Amino acid sequence: MNGSNLLLDSNIVLYLLNGEQTLIPLLEEKKLYVSFITQLETLGYRGITAEEQEKINQFLSECIIIDINPVIKNYTIRLRQAHDIKLPDSIIMATALYLNVPVITADSEFKKVEELDLIYYEK
């Protein structure tokens, strides 16, 4: 496991933004990455307020956002062929594999992919 880098799943970002303090020690001293999918999921919901959007953008500005690329596409295709996983989750998983960093999530679907370096967060 690469101890200084971490990819955050969308649910972890939302937990953090909603004040989940138990996550903070897990993330301290880490370089934080998010997939563009997490950016879309956290900002792209109907009814988002200007205050919520500002809070999310502020948090995301402190992370490195990873866009899709050919390697992530290939990982995503392979994951979707091998597992029954939703497309957004498979892109986030593929991003973790591409970066070769652990992904932290509270989504049990991520447990289906044994090759992931997974930190499963139980709230």
Number of domains in the chain: 1
User: What is the CA 122 to chain-centroid distance, rounded?
Assistant: 15
Full-model pTM: 0.94
- Among 95, 93, 3, smallest CA distance to 107 is for 93
* pLDDT tens track for 22-69: 999 989 999 999 999 999 999 998 999 999 999 999 999 999 999 999
* pLDDT tens track for 56-78: 999 999 999 999 999 999 999 99
What angle, rounded to 10 degrees, do the helices at 36-43 and 50-61 form? Answer: 160
- Among 29, 25, 21, 27, smallest CA distance to 9 is for 27
Q: How far apart are CA 62 and CA 24, in angstroms?
A: 14
Whole-number pLDDT of residue 123: 77
Whole-number pLDDT of residue 3: 72
CATH code of 89's domain = 3.40.50.1010
Whole-number pLDDT of residue 45: 86
